[in-house]
Structure 1
Amino acid sequence: MRLIPFNLKIHMFLILFIITRCTNQEQKNRPPEHILAKYTGYSQYTDPGKFVYLFDGLPESLEELCNRIKKQLIHPYDIGQYIGKTPEDRIVEDQTIPTVSLMLAELLKRDENGLAPSRQPEDRLVVACVHHCMLFASICRHRGIPVRIRAGFAKYIGEDDRIRVSHVVCEVWDHEQNQWILVDPDRQRVDFPRHEFEFAYETWGRLRSNNLDKNQYVSRYKTVDQATVHLLCHDLSYVIGNEEPYWNDPSIVAKSQTGITGLSQNELELLDKISAFLKNPDVHLEELVNIQKVTPVLNDYEVM
């Protein structure tokens, strides 16, 4: 019988150890299959309905897909670039088309070619970042790609990278990298560094520890406190699979209008718990769903 040299045995053992360790780490990072499966299913807001056929033939790469989506939609932030190219009364259309199926119906009405790259500015929809994300998510879910929407503050909008702008992006499960990657279909950014987007739970933590410069945060709300509570509540909504329109806020958001000092101790602790769970929603999804279900101040939506 031929013996294997001792040094070769050690070498083989090390290789096996490294492979096993890497495999275990991948398994540790990968969410359970039922979690990934949840994010491949349509929500009431991302369901394309009878217009699903419009997704056939779209670009496969995420970069090209973002570009195609941007050929259909204009963010109100960018409307100044289209003066004279779009109807003067078309400023924001979010509330008239709150779902992907309604978006697709309106796009088809304006240009029968569907999601074509040649769509003219006057035939595009003027909608916010969440609509860009919903359309992107709908297409990905149609392809069986897990995706969820996340809320927070972007550090890359505008010329000053110190400024954080209220924004919504997507988390997409990348099977090759075995991790969630960030995609911003509105700004056409794919797999960008996570430190360039401050998740709502991060802002909440900084707010609670009095560790932020409120002059660096921009949103449609009067105070950073209220904007953060708004984004935290909607991040919860997005993560559990209910892309509630951003103009619908639970009452806890209104209570924070003058600052989080307007919230009770129980409400502060509630948001602390939500924030902690949103750091790792793959582990705490069940708890997040239950919190949303049984907490009245998170369900009594009102138009802001």
Structure 2
Amino acid sequence: MLGLLEIFVLVLTLALSFIIFVPLTGVLVRFRANYNPKGLQLDSEGNAQPHTGPVITSYFAMFKRVYQIEGWSGLYKGLMPTLLSTLFVTAIILLFMDTPSPSHGKYVAPNTSILGTLFYSILMMLLSLPTSVITYRSITTPLRLPYLNPAKSLRVLLTPTERRKPWILYLTPGLLAASVLHILIVVLFLGPIRRLLVPPLETGAFEKISFWRLGVYIVVMIAATIVLSPLEVVAVRLALQRNHASADYNSISQEINADADEQEAEFAGNEEDVIGLRSETDPYLGLLDCGKRMIDEEGVFSLYRAWWITLLGVLGSVASAI
């Protein structure tokens, strides 16, 4: 059991991480989600129409735009689902995992075998995937969501089909594949390379570090960004793609109910939306289809939005490896 001091430190650490990382994560999600096609789009009658959404070319430009349109409340969109999901995962770790001091991160697994780490990472991903979907959607919605009314928020963020069948979130085309592939690369490829090139050292043994191996490891981490960054960008796009009516559900009534729920909410911005989202009438069909369409419609660099954040994440593991 944790003592009072450990609980206080844990709460303080989580609070500081929310204050700092919720706005940064929200800007990242919006930057990667913003739909910015290169060419003309076709309307319902087949006529070419220029794209009218915002053109944001950098992470910091997106930060400025969010603040200008929605203010501080816009920067802290997604706070409540992030808080609830973090508390839920932390409670599971404290109660069921042999991890005395859980850290805030995506794949922070106990020090165990490769298969044990893989099982742990996939389990935590499956537990957190629905809350990740809700968090991403709460960040990107142009509507103002109440902090203390989760039922109303879920009516806006989820389609009637998703509320009726919550497990359908796991069947969102390509989303589970992108998440699992990310884990496989991190655990089965980067993990063994880390153990081989930068084995854990005892305290005070800094002089024993092989700097040429450390250099090779850093180069490998940089190369891994080429694969991991597109997976993270695609995962954001797919998580925002809502699952509409199934074959045994009335699609017309679903659309009416969804519109009624959204009309009850106020817009967070005064004049315009922060980002533009791709039309749900022409959804991505899966992981590869999403990547291909992003390249065709928005250019290959759309897959590398804020790639340097992915790079900082993988390089951060260098410090924890020594």
Q: Shared fold by TM > 0.5?
A: no
Q: Whose strand fraction is larger, Structure 1's or Structure 2's? A: 1
- Determine which structure has the larger helix proportion and give its number: 2
TM-score (norm 1): 0.24
TM-score (norm 2): 0.23
Q: Which structure ranks higher in relative contact order (CA pairs < 8 Å, sequence separation ≥ 6)?
A: 2
Q: Which has the larger radius of gyration?
A: 1
